Amino acid sequence: MPSPVKKPAPRAALNTLADFPPPFHLAHHPIYLLPYEACDGIYAGKTDCKYLSVGRAQYDPSKSKLSVKTLRYTESERWSRMSEELPAHRACDLVLLLALTYAASRQNRGEITVPAGTFQGQDEELTLTSLAEYPQVFDDHDVESQIIVDRLYKLKEVLNSVLP
């Protein structure tokens, strides 16, 4: 399996990759995987959430449905398969990752550039590489893709109206 990050990469991302190799054996199939251990808000450096993922849904046998997931490594030293209630900052970070995935998809690139400062504690730019043969996540002719894009535009509209 290819590396989820392009080198050179920030030390924190490389440490997460070395200490907690991505769990490719789980039913969720990552397309983009963000090493998140050092960026997890108030839990940074002491979190069970090791990665954020944009990938193919585990509940869809055709593997055509897009999903986002936190990948957690539990105290019992194994990858958690559980769905979970998310801290609000993780939900925001997942939407940020989804928006960056959309931008990369529109540019027909197999990688995502995450500018420094996008996530808390992320001091350096990070490039995520696609883990899928077909990295084009959003398709203009796909109903699900259009729904997600419509929701991102609605989010932009709401944020523009509530933030100065």
Radius of gyration (Cα) for the chain, nearest Å?
15
- Whether the CB-CB separation of 145 and 138 falls below 8 Å is answered with yes
The rounded distance, in Å, linking the Cα atoms of 16 and 25 is 17
pLDDT at 85: 63
What predicted TM-score, i.e. pTM, was given to this entire model? Answer: 0.78
In a domain, 6, yes or no: no
What are the start-end ranges of the E strands in 12-120? 29-35, 49-56, 66-72, 111-114
Total domains in the fold of the chain: 1
Mean pLDDT by runs of 10 across the 164 residues of the chain is 89 95 89 94 91 86 82 88 75 95 85 95 94 77 87 96 94
- The per-residue pLDDT for 105 is 86
Whether 1 maps to a domain, the answer reads no
- Domain extent for 158: 11-162
Whether 42 and 27 have beta carbons less than 8 Å apart is answered as no
CA distances from 138 to 52, 108, 142, 160 (A): 18, 10, 8, 24
Is 5 domain-assigned? no
pLDDT the model gives residue 153? 96
In a domain, 123, yes or no: yes
Model pLDDT, residue 65: 81
| Predicted pLDDT at 109 | 77
Q: What pLDDT, on a 0 to 100 scale, did the predictor assign at position 12?
A: 94
pLDDT at 155: 96
> Closest Cα partner for 16 from 126, 137, 134, 133?
126
> What pLDDT score does 133 carry?
74
Position 14, amino acid = L
